[in-house]
Chain A
C-alpha cells in the first residue's frame, strides 16, 4: 500500500489523498482509513481530496462506499477539497454523492464535525 498520512485532531481522523491512485491502491487506502478510524475510535473522519484533479466513477463510488461504511460505524464524515472540475465531472457521471457532507477547507470541515 502506498504511504498514507494519517492525522488526528482530538478525536477526528484527517486523511489527505494523494494524486494518481490506481484502483488497487485506492481500495487499500480506503480500507486503511476505515480500519484506522476504528482503531483510534475516531468520532469523525475528514477525507481531503484537494490534491486530486481527476476523480473517475471508480474512485467516486469507492468514496461513496467508504463514507457509508464509516457512517454505519456511527462516525461522521466530511469530504474536503473537491475541485470545481471534479465536482462537475462527478455530477455529469451521475455521482453527485448525495447525502455526503462536504467542505471547501479543513477549518470548515472540522467545524462541521
Chain B
C-alpha cells in the first residue's frame, strides 16, 4: 500500500475537503462512477464521526494496484460498545452507529480497532 494523502480532520470544513480529495483520487484511479460515489460517501460518514464524536483525527488514503484503502484514525475516547454500535436498529444507537454501518455496507472490507487512545477504522474498495 502506498500512502498518497493525509488529511487532518478537526471541523466540518474538513469533511468537505476529505470528500473533494477522495473524489479526485478515485477519479485518477479509474473507479466507475457509482463506486466513486460509494467511496466518497463512506469517507463522508467516517470523517463526520471523527468531527462529531471524537473531536479530531486523521484520514489517510493509500492505494495499490487492487484498490484504495482509507484509514480513519481519531484521538477520541474510543468506543466501548463497538459491537452494539455496529448492530442494526440505528434508532437506539444514533448517528455514530449509522455512520459506521453505512461505511461498512458501501465498502468491500471494514476493520475497526478501538481503545483509550482512539479508534482506527480501515476500509477498502476493490477497483473493478
Q: Do chains A and B directly touch (beta carbons under 8 Å) in the complex? A: yes
Please state if B106 and A84 are interface contacts (CB–CB under 8 Å).
Answer: no
- Nearest Cβ on chain B to A17's Cβ, whole angstroms: 14
| Residues of chain A within 8 A of B23, CB atoms compared | 54
Please state if A20 and B19 are interface contacts (CB–CB under 8 Å).
Answer: yes
Please state if A57 and B16 are interface contacts (CB–CB under 8 Å).
Answer: no
A22 CB within 8 Å of chain B: yes
Please state if A85 and B12 are interface contacts (CB–CB under 8 Å).
Answer: no
Give the docked Cα–Cα distance between A54 and B95 (Å).
18
Please state if B48 and A23 are interface contacts (CB–CB under 8 Å).
Answer: yes
- Interface on chain B toward A: helix, strand, loop, or mixed SS? helix
- Interface size of B as a range: 20 to 34
- Interface on chain A toward B: helix, strand, loop, or mixed SS? helix
| Residues of chain B within 8 A of A32, CB atoms compared | none
Q: Report if A20-B44 is in contact (Cβ < 8 Å); known contacts: A88-B37, A93-B102.
A: no
User: Interface centre among B15, B102, B105, by most A CB within 10 Å?
Assistant: B102
B70 CB within 8 Å of chain A: no
- Interface size of A as a range: 20 to 34
- Nearest Cβ on chain A to B64's Cβ, whole angstroms: 24
Chain B residues packing against A (C-beta within 8 Å): 12-13, 15-16, 19-20, 23, 33-34, 36-38, 40-41, 44-45, 48, 90, 95, 98-99, 101-102, 105-106
A89 CB within 8 Å of chain B: yes
A92 CB within 8 Å of chain B: yes
- Considering only CB atoms, which chain B residue lies closest to A24 in the complex? B12
Q: Which residues in window 52-106 of A have CB below 8 A to B?
A: 53-58, 61, 83-86, 88-89, 92-94
Please state if A92 and B95 are interface contacts (CB–CB under 8 Å).
Answer: no
Q: Report if A92-B44 is in contact (Cβ < 8 Å); known contacts: A20-B20, A57-B102.
A: no
